[in-house]
Amino acid sequence: MTREQLAMLKMFDRHVESSAQQELGVVAEKTDIQTSIGPFKFLPDYRITYPRIIIRALGELYEEYNKNFIPLAEANMEWKTDYQYCYRIKGLTPINFAVQVDMVGLPDSFLQIAEDEEISQEEIREILRMRIFEIENSLAMYQLLEKIFSSNGQNSFFKINFRSALSKLRKKFQKPIALLAVTEQKHQAMLSSEFGKQAGESVSDAEVSELSGFDRFFGPDDFRKYLMENKGRCDYLLYARTSDPVSRLKDPSLQVEHPLLGDPEMRKVIKANVLTFNIDSPEMDSSRRINDTKEYQPRMKMAFPISSGADLFSLDFAEFLLGGKKGYATYTGSSRLSSQFRSYLHTCGIDPQTVESGETLLRCKPAKCAYGCYGHVVGSLNDNKFRGELRNNMRQREGGYVVQPEMKTPVIENITNGQAYTYIDRNFLLFTGGKPHFAGGFRSLMPVDCHEAKKHRNHGNGSTVWAEIVA
């Protein structure tokens, strides 16, 4: 990061740290979404509009993200037909059709600077790079995404863009598109949370189309039966939902049955027709796994990779700890941090001494096979408890970890009711017609005094209030 870019990043952080007050309106509940979870709270009178320069900068990062899947896809390849629908040109430039970008919320004061073009698109792109938590390549809860901001019979910004993108894919490849849950746990969870079905109920193709935009929904047994009846041929593009069940995300020691991905014949068919880079063999070495990967982050300078906690420390300090001298503060060497980690922190605009002292918190998260906040460890590097928790989590989870400085999130007070919220922005981008398209986003606002906000976990739960982001 250049000196000028670092100055721009610090300017952005000043906007984040300045609390704001605004008339956000009354919180409403969305009750017409067919799901086992909810209802969902939103602010019908508060809408955030991103200027075009922000959208273009996000698009550039999206394209860079896709390019960084080249080595990840190559390592994951098993057959020549793998991911054949996931490339712009066969064998070149992987395309993640849809992504969710979770990032520090963009305060209105910063959006105004961007709107007035007081800073360049390149400077904005580098600010966003350093303030993105992660990019996910598998969207979920389509009905929620489409309906929460629709009203009076008018489709939401997301629904218009998402349905259009699905139609373009169907036309391009002359195939319908099916959702595929690769485990029975995921199948049942999706029936309940995404289609509002009770145990034992099924969902028709018409309902799938109406509620999600896809043409069909396969569970593992459904898909195997379909292939048998269709003589082994798959006539659908597959949008695969392959994340582990929540029970295993919480406890990685739990074993999950993989009736599809554990069968090489089934896995070959799936990888040949899938639209998502997320298909692993259950026996595959962690270095080749691609599901829920964050390995793109170090390549994009968004995070620092570690295979053990020792990778954060200088050799002298690591030997000091291994020698049984546990007192962090008693070390008298020049630096506790490794030169590589110090260099990464400078790239982020962070003084390494503030990390050593514990003033700057760190967030460590699994590099693969986990999403959301599962497996995350947040704390001060000079805290024995934090370091012990990181060691324990890394023993339980394969594939190493990535580390980021914990990012501050802005606070806004709703003048309507006096409630203060901390917030992040969750944006959706689609790749259609050979280029990125912004499909809208959600501003996720959590009351500053709620348990999850205090634990640095901003996600969708009963306390969360949503606001729409448009272009």
pLDDT single digits (tens) 27-77: 999 989 999 998 899 999 999 999 999 999 999 999 999 999 999 999 999
The pLDDT value recorded for residue 90 is: 65
Span 249-277, average pLDDT: 95
The pLDDT value recorded for residue 93 is: 86
Q: Is 452's pLDDT higher than 80?
A: yes
| Reported confidence tier of residue 91, pLDDT bands at 50, 70, 90 | low
Span 95-113, average pLDDT: 97
Query: 343-378 pLDDT, tens per residue?
Result: 999 999 899 999 999 999 999 999 999 998 899 999
The pLDDT value recorded for residue 40 is: 94
Phi, psi of 6 (to 5 degrees): -65, -40
Query: 201-260 pLDDT, tens per residue?
Result: 999 999 999 999 999 999 999 999 999 999 999 999 999 999 998 889 999 999 899 999
Question: Which tops the pLDDT comparison, 43 or 457?
Answer: 43
HSE (side-chain half, CA atoms, 13 Å) at 215: 12
Span 143-157, average pLDDT: 92
The pLDDT value recorded for residue 225 is: 98
Name the region of 107 (left: φ>0; alpha: ψ -120 to 50; beta: rest). Answer: beta
The percent of residues above 70 in pLDDT, for the chain, comes to: 99
3-state secondary structure the chain: CCHHHHHHHHHHHHHHHCCEEECCCCCEEECCCCCCCCCEEEEEEEEEECCHHHHHHHHHHHHHHHHCCHHHHHHHCCCCCCCCCCEEECCEEECCCEEEEEEECCCHHHHHHHHCCCCCHHHHHHHHHHCEEEEECCCCCHHHHHHCCCECCECCHHHHHHHHHHHHHHHHHCCCEEEEECCHHHHHHHHHHHHCCCCCCCCCHHHHHHHHCCCEEECHHHHHHHHHHCCCCCCCEEEEECCCCHHHHHCCCCCCCCCCCCCHHHHHHHHHHECCCCCCCCCCCHHHCCCCCCCHHHHCCCCEEECCHHHHECHHHHHHHHCCCCCHHHCCCCCCECHHHHHHHHHCCCCHHHHHHCCCCEEEEECCCCCCCCCCEEECCCCHHHHHHHHHHHHHCCCCEEEEECCCCCEEEECCCCCEEEEEEEEEEEEECCEEEEEEEEEEEEECCCHHHHCCCCCCCCCCEEEEEEC
Span 152-167, average pLDDT: 94
| Reported confidence tier of residue 324, pLDDT bands at 50, 70, 90 | low
Span 163-184, average pLDDT: 97
Give the number of other Cβ atoms within 10 Å of residue 196's Cβ: 18
**In the structure encoding, which two tokens stand for residue 132, read together?**
């993105």
Q: Is 92's pLDDT higher than 80?
A: no
The pLDDT value recorded for residue 53 is: 97
| Reported confidence tier of residue 469, pLDDT bands at 50, 70, 90 | very high
Query: 378-436 pLDDT, tens per residue?
Result: 999 999 999 999 999 999 998 899 999 999 999 999 999 999 999 999 999 999 988 99
The pLDDT value recorded for residue 5 is: 87
**Dist. CA 225–CA 231, nearest whole Å:** 10
Tell me which residue has tokens 């309940």: 192
239 forms beta bridges with: 179
Amino acid letter, residue 442: F
**Dist. CA 355–CA 78, nearest whole Å:** 42
Mean pLDDT of the chain: 94
The percent of residues above 90 in pLDDT, for the chain, comes to: 83
Q: Is 325's pLDDT higher than 80?
A: no
